[in-house]
């Protein structure tokens, strides 16, 4: 009975790979099936990074980088400094301003973080930028996108195959997983994942010496924006309402963040390195 169910499962796996599955022999498929039976097999860090780079390349396929070296370098310095205050400081963190006029920000597994030029233009200082980047980093730290992928039964199979595909250079399986991974950005994450990223983002930015209210200020700006504006459409569709996010922060921040302030030097820098180039 046990063997038969494993066999059926592996046939399912083989057909899930469709073409290109010939590289998998039955024995290998059986061993993967056994791995898949262990609930919630975690994706190892090297797999996470390869997957994330693939998704990053796809996001860049829909919007290239904003062509300004100074602004890109500035965002990388802010982001990398902030990343040193997380529990995964050694990930290959990299940051990019997307040329898109849309207002949004994205994180991919393994540490690629994007912010659109449209959102950059709405920010007032380095603390707000740090707050946005820290929110995105929290998605990476908590592996929210990978969890969203694994939730889908079909993709559960693909992510289980991913490690195997990387070892065997089975690009078709990898491509499938990356395509499905990119589609997560069209649907958005779980609401609770967004609330968690807000809670963590505030703390991470504060640890890095920034004003804790940078992220709440961005949320307040978003709330005041016209919801009919099409440049905000995807962001509003894939996130809880800014009002709800602010209410949750209002409940937990209390007065313990009142004593932190950002050095004024960061404002000068923000204006000279970024504002005038956007």
Partner 1 sequence: MKLIFGLFTLFWLATSACAEQTAYAVRNTEIKQQPYSDAATVARLSENASVSIVSRQGGWMRISSKAGNGWVKMLSLRGGSTATKRGDSGMQSLFNIGRTGSSGITVATGVRGLSEEDLKNAQPDPLELEKLQSYAVNKSKAEKFARDAKLKSHQLDYLHYSGNP
Among 16, 23, 81, 156, binds partner 1 (CB under 8 A): 81
Please report, as residue ranges, which positions from 225 to 254 form the binding site for partner 1 (by CB under 8 A). Answer: 225-226, 228-231, 233-234, 237, 240, 242-244, 246-253
Please report, as residue ranges, which positions from 82 to 101 form the binding site for partner 1 (by CB under 8 A). Answer: 83-85, 89, 92-96, 98-101
Q: CA-CA distance, 101 to 83, in Å (whole number)?
A: 26
The residue among 11 and 261 lying less far from partner 1, judged by its C-beta, is: 261
Tokens of 237: 């569709």
Pairing of strands 112-116, 105-108: antiparallel
Is 212 one of the binding residues for partner 1 (CB under 8 A)? yes
- Applying CB under 8 A, which part among 14-22, 30-38, 71-79, 151-159 lies near partner 1? 71-79
Is 59 one of the binding residues for partner 1 (CB under 8 A)? yes
Is 221 one of the binding residues for partner 1 (CB under 8 A)? yes
The residue among 43 and 97 lying less far from partner 1, judged by its C-beta, is: 97
Please report, as residue ranges, which positions from 6 to 45 form the binding site for partner 1 (by CB under 8 A). Answer: none
Is 54 one of the binding residues for partner 1 (CB under 8 A)? yes
Residues near partner 1 (CB under 8 A), total: 98
Q: How far apart are the first and last CA of the chain?
A: 64
Q: Token pair 């950059």 is at which residue?
A: 120
Coil vs helix vs strand at 86: coil
Is 172 one of the binding residues for partner 1 (CB under 8 A)? no
Residue 275 CB contacts under 8 Å (≥ 6 apart), including other chains: none
Residue 172 CB contacts under 8 Å (≥ 6 apart), including other chains: 17, 18, 19, 20, 165
Q: What angle, 0 to 180 degrees and rounded to 10, lies between the N-to-C axes of helices 265-273 and 69-83?
A: 140
Residue of 73, 175, 57, 33 lying closest to 112 (CA atoms): 57
Is 169 one of the binding residues for partner 1 (CB under 8 A)? no
* Ramachandran angles phi, psi of 182, nearest 5°: -70, -35
Is 278 one of the binding residues for partner 1 (CB under 8 A)? no
The residue among 24 and 210 lying less far from partner 1, judged by its C-beta, is: 210
Is 189 one of the binding residues for partner 1 (CB under 8 A)? no
Burial code of 177-198, b = ≥16 C-beta within 10 A, e = fewer? bbebbbebbeebbeeebbbbbb
Tokens of 27: 């024995």
Among 30, 49, 217, 278, binds partner 1 (CB under 8 A): 217
- Applying CB under 8 A, which part among 20-28, 40-48, 59-67, 154-162 lies near partner 1? 59-67
């Amino acid at each position: 009975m046990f063997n038969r169910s494993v066999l059926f499962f592996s046939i399912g796996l083989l057909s899930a790979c469709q073409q290109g599955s010939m590289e998998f022999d039955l024995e290998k498929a059986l061993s993967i099936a056994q791995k898949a039976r262990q609930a919630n097999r975690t994706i190892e860090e090297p797999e996470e990074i390869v997957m994330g780079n693939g998704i990053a390349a796809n996001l860049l396929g829909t919007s290239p980088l904003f062509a300004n070296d100074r602004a890109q370098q500035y965002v990388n310095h802010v982001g990398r400094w902030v990343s040193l205050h997380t529990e995964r400081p050694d990930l290959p963190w990299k940051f990019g301003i997307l040329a898109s006029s849309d207002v949004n920000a994205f994180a991919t597994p393994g540490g690629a973080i994007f912010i659109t030029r449209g959102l950059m233009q709405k920010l007032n200082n380095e603390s707000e930028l740090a707050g946005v980047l820290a929110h995105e980093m929290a998605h990476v730290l908590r592996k929210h996108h990978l969890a969203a992928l694994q939730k889908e039964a079909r993709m559960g199979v693909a992510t289980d195959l991913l490690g195997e595909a990387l070892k065997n250079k089975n690009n078709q399986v990898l491509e499938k997983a990356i395509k499905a991974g990119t589609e997560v950005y069209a649907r958005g994450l779980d609401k609770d994942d967004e609330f968690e990223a807000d809670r963590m983002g505030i703390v991470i930015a504060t640890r890095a010496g920034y004003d804790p209210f940078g992220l709440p200020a961005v949320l307040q700006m978003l709330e005041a924006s016209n919801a009919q504006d099409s440049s905000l459409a995807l962001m509003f569709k894939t996130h809880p309402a800014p009002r709800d996010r602010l209410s949750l922060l209002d409940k937990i921040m209390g007065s313990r963040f009142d004593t932190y302030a950002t050095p004024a030097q960061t404002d000068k820098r923000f204006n000279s390195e970024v504002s005038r180039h956007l």
